[in-house]
Amino acid sequence: MIPIDSAARQRRGAAWTGSFRTEPPTGKVCDDLDALRHREDGDSIVEETHMKQVVAEGIARRIRESAAAALLWAGVTALSCGPGLAHAEEIRIGGTGGGLATMQILGEAYASTQPGTEITVLPSLGSSGGIKAMLSGVIQIALTSRALTDTEVKAGAVQVAYARTPFVFATAATNTTTGLSLQELVDIYAGRSVDWPDGTRIRLVMRPIGDSDSDMIKAMSPAMDLALSGAETRKGMAFAVTDQDAADTLERIPGALGPSTLAQIRSENRALKALELDAVEPSPTTIADGSYPYYNTLFMVTRSETSPAVRQFMEFVRSPAGGEILTRTGHWVP
């Protein structure tokens, strides 16, 4: 199994654009994030021992990078913990990687009309990590691609669905293939189909066992469940820890194929294409009319009592202006 290095995306950063300030955060924010991320490592979702170790090492490397350097990532973070900001209210946002770039765009639009509010979008914490960070007070809004658990609700978390985005299978934008059938995907994950029509080897980009993307693929059909379960134990597979790691790998490896979302591809300006599935294009329109049945519901998660600034920003996300941004970046707002 090949762990994927998230540093590549941080070094490039070209798809992340914005005007947020890049002053360094206080040590406490970095320390709190580092502690939460290390705690998240202990909640490994990978079942096989060797896979657990390799994925954990990838997460640990990401923690070390993000604790010091990734918070300075131009265009991804809106660091507002430096001196001279005592009169501005900061809203820190983090969680599932697929929602970060869109939230950055929303934050920029909101901050342009609210000079007294600073929006900080942190590097990927994952849905569970974002909820833990919110409950611990490190961030004010967690972004998730799953519903809350009973334990999280009892701990005081509340969620608001703000959009849906097509769950897609992505490959390089230069790939001449425009779509696959579900049966073709089953054959690819089962190892029975190994080449693209032009002869290029298909290289699957996997997500860890128990990851929401893996669960989504398995839920597509019993045959897909069986095929992916077999692929997860196959030697030499590339596993990506975060949404950004997965997109990096899909862009980098010739012939790569793996899960993503239309929102991530569009909002991060990725050099990827979302493949049609069973001759249906994944789009906000096709998930709205039900012809494309695979999508992620995205949530903002907070405590029941939030500041007026947080409430106002969340209202903006669900406003017509926010809805226009969401639609443009590959979301459907029910």
* pLDDT tens digit sequence for 175-229: 999 999 999 999 999 999 999 999 999 999 999 999 999 999 999 999 999 999 9
Question: Do 170 and 159 have their domain in common?
Answer: no
Least confident of 78-87, 96-105, 206-215: 78-87
Higher local confidence (pLDDT), 116 or 300? 300
Beta strand segments in the chain, E:
2-3, 89-95, 117-121, 141-144, 157-172, 179-180, 203-206, 238-239, 256-261, 272-274, 276-277, 295-303
- Which helix (H) or strand (E) segment is 181 a member of? none
Question: Do 230 and 301 have their domain in common?
Answer: no
What average pLDDT does the segment 90-104 reach?
Answer: 96
The CA-based angle 132-138-142, given to 5 degrees, is 55
What range does the domain containing 312 cover? Answer: 2-164+297-328
* Whole-Å CA distances, 8 to 67, 208, 243, 252: 16, 19, 13, 10
Question: Do 283 and 301 have their domain in common?
Answer: no
Let me know if residue 125 belongs to a domain. yes
Question: Do 156 and 176 have their domain in common?
Answer: no
CATH number of the domain residue 240 falls in: 3.40.190.10
Question: Do 147 and 19 have their domain in common?
Answer: yes
Tokens found for residue 24: 């360094």
Read off the pLDDT of residues 138-181 as tens digits, 9 standing for 90 and up. Answer: 999 999 999 999 999 999 999 999 999 999 999 999 999 999 99
Confidence of residue 89 (pLDDT cuts 50, 70, 90): confident
Backbone angles phi and psi of 296, in degrees to 5: -105, 135
Q: What is the pLDDT of residue 61?
A: 44
Let me know if residue 334 belongs to a domain. no
Let me know if residue 55 belongs to a domain. yes
Question: Do 24 and 41 have their domain in common?
Answer: yes
Question: Do 119 and 157 have their domain in common?
Answer: yes
Report strand pairing: 238-239 vs 272-274: unpaired
Let me know if residue 27 belongs to a domain. yes
Question: Do 29 and 135 have their domain in common?
Answer: yes
Least confident of 38-47, 239-248, 313-322: 38-47
Alpha carbon 100 to chain centroid, angstroms: 7
Residues comprising the chain, all counted: 334
Question: Do 37 and 176 have their domain in common?
Answer: no
Residue 127 contacts residue 146 (beta carbons within 8 Å): yes
Question: Do 130 and 81 have their domain in common?
Answer: yes
Question: From the CB of residue 309, how many other CB atoms can be counted at a distance below 10 Å?
Answer: 18
Backbone angles phi and psi of 20, in degrees to 5: -65, 150
Tokens found for residue 26: 């206080």
Question: Do 263 and 284 have their domain in common?
Answer: yes
Tokens found for residue 162: 């703000």
Tokens found for residue 30: 């970095």
Backbone angles phi and psi of 34, in degrees to 5: -60, -45
Number of domains in the chain: 2
Least confident of 74-83, 84-93, 309-318: 74-83
Let me know if residue 333 belongs to a domain. no
Q: Evaluate if residue 20 carries a pLDDT over 90.
A: no
Question: Do 174 and 157 have their domain in common?
Answer: no
Strand partners, 170: 258, 274
Confidence of residue 287 (pLDDT cuts 50, 70, 90): very high
